[in-house]
Structure 1
Amino acid sequence: MLKLLVIGNGCSGIDSGGEVLVNSNTGSFLNELSNNFDISFLQKSKLLSYDSDLQNFQISSSNIKYVSLPDNGFQLRQLWIILKSVRSSEFIYLFWPGTVSKIAALLALAFGRKYALYVRGQFYSNGFVDELIIKRAKFLLTVSNSLKDSLANFNSNVDTIRPMIDIDIRSKKYYEKSRFAGDEIKLLFVGRVEVRKGVFDLLEAFNILIEHGVNASLTIIGGGSAISDIRYIVQKYSIENRVTIRGMIANRDELLNSYYAADAFVFPSHDEGFPRVLYESMSMRLPIFTTFVGGIPGLMEDQYNCMRIPVRNPIETARIVQEALMDSNKLELIGNNGYRTLEEYLDTHKAEHYDLVTRGILNEQGNK
C-alpha cells in the first residue's frame, strides 16, 4: 500500500500509561484512511489533561503508526523527525495552517514528495511562502464554501468536506423541543476556553445582560488554557449563581443533552474555519448568536439562520442578544431555519473527508 503521512496541527495527549489519544473525529478519519493506505500520523504530543482535552481515540486500537513530536518548542531533533518522516513517505496530507505542516511542505517540495492540504482556518496564508505551498499542493480540502472560493484564487483543485458531526438531524426528539418555556433564558457556549474563541467577551456581555435585568443563565462547555481565568472573572462579576463552567464533556450524549437543554447558543469567536459547534447547534434547531469570521458567513445569514454579533465588542453583543430575547417567536424561527440550512447543506455535501482524500491521492497516483 502507498505510504501516507498525515501531519496534524494540534496536539495529541499521552495518558499516564503512555497511551496516545487524539480527537475522536481525527481518529475516525485516520482509521478510515488506514483501510487504503499504510498510514503514519505525525503530531506534537503532551501529557493528557482530562480537564482541557477532548481526546478519546486510542491510536493503539488502530493500524495507524504514530510519530510523536515533543511539545516543548522547536528543536533540531524535531526537524530531524519531520525530515525522516517526509522522506520515508510517498504522499503527505497536511492539516493547515501550522508550523510543523509548513516545514513538512517545504521539505516535500525539496524532496519531490506530493502533498495536499486540509485548510481549517481563515488565516491560511501569511506571505509568499504560504502562497507557494498552497499553489503547489496537489489538492486542497476545506470546511466551508467561502473558504473554498477564497482558496480557489491560489489553487483550482479545491473541495469542501462534509461536516463531521455525530448527530441524527432527523431525530424526532430534537424536532419537538420547545424553547423559551421557562422564566430563565438558558444560554450556551461550547468550544475551546481561550481568548481567540471570545469567551472573555462572552462573560463581559453576559454580565451586562444581568446588570440590565435579563433573567438568564450561561453554561460554558469546553477545556482550554483559560479555565482558571474565566472562573476568576465570574467571581469578579459576582455571577457565580448564573454561570456554570462544565469544562470538557467527553460523553457525546451528555454533550448533546446540553445543547438540547439550552434556549440559545452564543459564539463570539475571533477567527475560525467553520466551527463544528454551529453545525451541532443547527442540528438541534438552537437559535444562534455568532460572529461572522472565517468561513462562517459562507453558510450563516444574519436574521435568517442566526443573529450576527460583532467581534471583540461585548457591549454591542449584549445589546443584540437582549433585543433578540424579547422576540422568542423570531428566535424559534431562526432555529428552524438553521436546521433547514444544515439539512440542505448535508444533501449537497455527501462526500466524507476520508473519501475526498482517498480519491485525491488515487487520482494523483493515476496521473504518474
Structure 2
Amino acid sequence: MSPVRNAPVAPRAGTGGPAQDGAGRGVTLILPGPISHDGTAYRIFKPYGQLASALCAHFDRVTVCTHVLTAEHPAFGGSDPLLDPRVQVEPLPSPPAGSPGVARSLAHHLRSSLAVVRRIRQWDVVYAFVPSYPGAVAYTVNRLFFHRPAAVYLANDWEEITPYTFRWGGGVRGLLFGPYRVLLTRWERWMMRSTRLGLTAGRALLDKYGGEGRPIYETAPILEMKPSDMVRREDTCLQSPVRLLYVGTLNPRKGVPVLLDALRALVDEGRQVTLDVVGDGPDRAELQERVRAMGLGDRVAFHGFVAAGPELFAFYRRADLFVLPTYSEGFPRVLYEAMGHSLPVVASAVSGIPFLLQDGRHGLLVPPGDPAALAAAMRRVMDDGALRRGLIREGFALVGPIVARDPASQFAELCRRHLGPAAEAA
C-alpha cells in the first residue's frame, strides 16, 4: 500500500456550520488529476482546487477523487497550490512513470477502476470530469449499478483529442488506434445522452450534445482571474521588440511547432519579435532543441510552469500579442485571461473557440496547423492599429461578464434543479 493511501485525509467540509444549499449532501469530484501529496498536505491544479473550495459553501462535504503522486514520482507537482483542508481526498493509484507499455497502462486503469467502484456507495452526488478514465468509469458504473445522483463535466471532445492522447506508435498504433477512438467516442456520446445533468466547456460541445431532451449546459469557466485582476489597455505592439506570448501545456495537441515556424517567418522578414513560452509538458525538451536548430535561441524564452495568479498575470501584462495555435480545445482558459489583460488574440478556429470569438471582432482566427496563416494573422495585428485596438476593446468587453460568473454556484443550482429529491426516480 502506498504512503498516500495511508495518509490522513483532510477534515470533512461543513464542520464550521451547515452547507447553504447542498440539501445535506456531499459531492465527489472525480478529476483527471493527478494531484500531489508531499507527506503532509495535498497540492492540486489551481482551477480545480478553487472549484472544490468554492463548493464547500454549497455542500456539507466536498471530496476529490483522483490519482495522487508522491514526492518520489517524476511528475510530482510540488509547485501547485495547497488543497483547501476542508476538502476530503479519496486517492487513486499513482500512474506509472515514464512511457509505460500497453499492458502496464491497462493494469493501472484496471486498478484505478476497481478503486473507484469500491468507493461509489459512500458518495452522495457524483461529479465526473471527462475525458478521463476515472471520471468515465465512475459515471458508467454508477449509472449501471448504483444510481447515485450524477453529473458529467465534459472538458474536451474525446474524439478530437484521441490522436494526441494515444501514446503508442508503430504497429501498436496501427492495430489499436481505430478501435480505441471508436470506443471513446461512443462512450462519451452515451454518457452525455444518458446523464441527468451535463456541463460542457465551450459552446461547440453544448451544440454537439444539447437539444436531445437531456439537461446540458455550458459551464461557467473555472478561472483564477477575477474582475479585479483585469487590466484595461488601449493599445499594445508599440514597443520593439513586439512580445508574443503562449501559455499552455507543451504537448502535440497545442501546436507550438506551428507557432515556431510562424515566428521564423516573421524574423526572416526583419521583424523585431520575441516569444515567451509559459508552461511545461512532455514536448519541452524537443521544442527547445527545435528552437536551437531554427536559430531562434535569442528570440524564444521557455519559462516553465507558472501557477495561475499574480506571477502568471505579469506575463500577460508584459505581452503585446497572445497566440494559441491549438488543434483541439473545449474553450481554453488562457484566452479569457489574455483578453482580460487587454491582449489582442490570434487563435486556431477549432472546437469551442469560434463559438465565442467572432473572427475580426474579438480575435483573429486561423486554420490549425498552418504556419503561413498564423504568421499572416500576427503580421496583420502588428501592422493595423485600428484593428488591434478594436480587438482589445471587444475582447475585454466580452470577457468581463464571463469572469464574474461563479461555476460553483451554477453547479449547486443545477444540482438542486436536476439532481434533487424530485429527480431521484429519473
TM over 0.5: yes
Q: Call closer, same or farther: CA 1:109–1:203 in 2, change over 3 Å.
A: same
Gaps of 5+ in 1: none
Task: Say if 2:29 and 2:65, in contact at 8 Å, map to a contact too.
Answer: yes
Aligned to 2:132: 98
Which of 211, 225, 249 is 1:167 aligned to? Answer: 225
CA–CA distance in 2 between the matches of 1:66 and 1:180? 48
The yes-or-no answer on 1:330 pairing with 2:387 is: yes
Deviates more, 1:216-225 or 1:323-332: 323-332
The yes-or-no answer on 1:19 pairing with 2:19 is: no
Task: Say if 2:342 and 2:392, in contact at 8 Å, map to a contact too.
Answer: yes
Which of 59, 70, 81 is 1:57 aligned to? Answer: 81
CA–CA distance in 1 between the matches of 2:225 and 2:28? 30
Q: Deviations over 1:43-101 (max 9, x none)?
A: 12334689995963323622323322321234343222111122322321101122222
Task: Say if 1:30 and 1:64, in contact at 8 Å, map to a contact too.
Answer: no
The yes-or-no answer on 1:200 pairing with 2:257 is: yes
CA–CA distance in 2 between the matches of 1:74 and 1:357? 33
Aligned to 1:366: 421
CA–CA distance in 1 between the matches of 2:279 and 2:251? 10
Aligned to 1:139: 197
Q: Deviation at 1:302?
A: 0.8
Residue type at the aligned position of 2:209: L
Aligned to 1:354: 408
Task: Point out the structure with the larger strand share.
Answer: 1
Deviates more, 1:136-145 or 1:116-125: 116-125
Residue type at the aligned position of 2:409: D
Task: Say if 2:126 and 2:151, in contact at 8 Å, map to a contact too.
Answer: yes
CA–CA distance in 2 between the matches of 1:358 and 1:243? 44
Q: Call closer, same or farther: CA 1:3–1:14 in 2, change over 3 Å.
A: same
Task: Say if 1:5 and 1:86, in contact at 8 Å, map to a contact too.
Answer: no
Residue type at the aligned position of 2:242: I
Aligned to 1:287: 344
Task: Say if 2:43 and 2:77, in contact at 8 Å, map to a contact too.
Answer: no
Q: Deviation at 1:8?
A: 0.6
Gaps of 5+ in 2: 1-23, 97-104, 160-181
Query: Secondary structure of 2:31's match?
Result: strand
Which of 218, 222, 247 is 2:304 aligned to? Answer: 247
Q: Deviation at 1:330?
A: 1.5
Task: Say if 1:289 and 1:307, in contact at 8 Å, map to a contact too.
Answer: yes
Task: Say if 1:24 and 1:57, in contact at 8 Å, map to a contact too.
Answer: yes
Task: Say if 1:53 and 1:248, in contact at 8 Å, map to a contact too.
Answer: no
CA–CA distance in 1 between the matches of 2:233 and 2:271? 26
Paired residue total: 363
The yes-or-no answer on 1:317 pairing with 2:374 is: yes
CA–CA distance in 2 between the matches of 1:127 and 1:147? 13
TM-score under structure 2 length normalisation:
0.78
CA–CA distance in 1 between the matches of 2:84 and 2:377? 48
Query: Secondary structure of 1:311's match?
Result: coil
CA–CA distance in 2 between the matches of 1:344 and 1:19? 35
Task: Say if 1:52 and 1:248, in contact at 8 Å, map to a contact too.
Answer: no
Aligned to 1:68: 92
Task: State the identity as a percent.
Answer: 20
Q: Deviation at 1:329?
A: 3.0
The yes-or-no answer on 1:39 pairing with 2:62 is: yes
Task: Say if 1:54 and 1:250, in contact at 8 Å, map to a contact too.
Answer: no
Q: Call closer, same or farther: CA 1:127–1:147 in 2, change over 3 Å.
A: closer
Q: Call closer, same or farther: CA 1:10–1:314 in 2, change over 3 Å.
A: farther
Aligned to 2:153: 118
Aligned to 1:307: 364
CA–CA distance in 1 between the matches of 2:223 and 2:84? 24
Q: Deviation at 1:118?
A: 0.8
Q: Deviation at 1:312?
A: 1.0
Q: Deviations over 1:205-248 (max 9, x none)?
A: 11121112221000000111111111111111111111111111
Q: Call closer, same or farther: CA 1:253–1:22 in 2, change over 3 Å.
A: same
Query: Secondary structure of 1:9's match?
Result: coil
Aligned to 2:31: 8
Residue type at the aligned position of 2:56: S
CA–CA distance in 2 between the matches of 1:243 and 1:116? 42
Query: Secondary structure of 1:301's match?
Result: coil
The yes-or-no answer on 1:158 pairing with 2:216 is: yes
Task: Say if 2:28 and 2:64, in contact at 8 Å, map to a contact too.
Answer: yes
Deviates more, 1:23-32 or 1:228-237: 23-32
CA–CA distance in 1 between the matches of 2:52 and 2:226? 22
CA–CA distance in 2 between the matches of 1:26 and 1:345? 18
CA–CA distance in 2 between the matches of 1:47 and 1:233? 32
Q: Deviation at 1:193?
A: 1.2
Query: Secondary structure of 1:358's match?
Result: helix
Residue type at the aligned position of 1:290: A
Query: Secondary structure of 1:167's match?
Result: coil
TM-score under structure 1 length normalisation:
0.90
CA–CA distance in 2 between the matches of 1:82 and 1:297? 36
CA–CA distance in 2 between the matches of 1:337 and 1:52? 40
Deviates more, 1:311-320 or 1:275-284: 311-320
Q: Call closer, same or farther: CA 1:31–1:233 in 2, change over 3 Å.
A: same
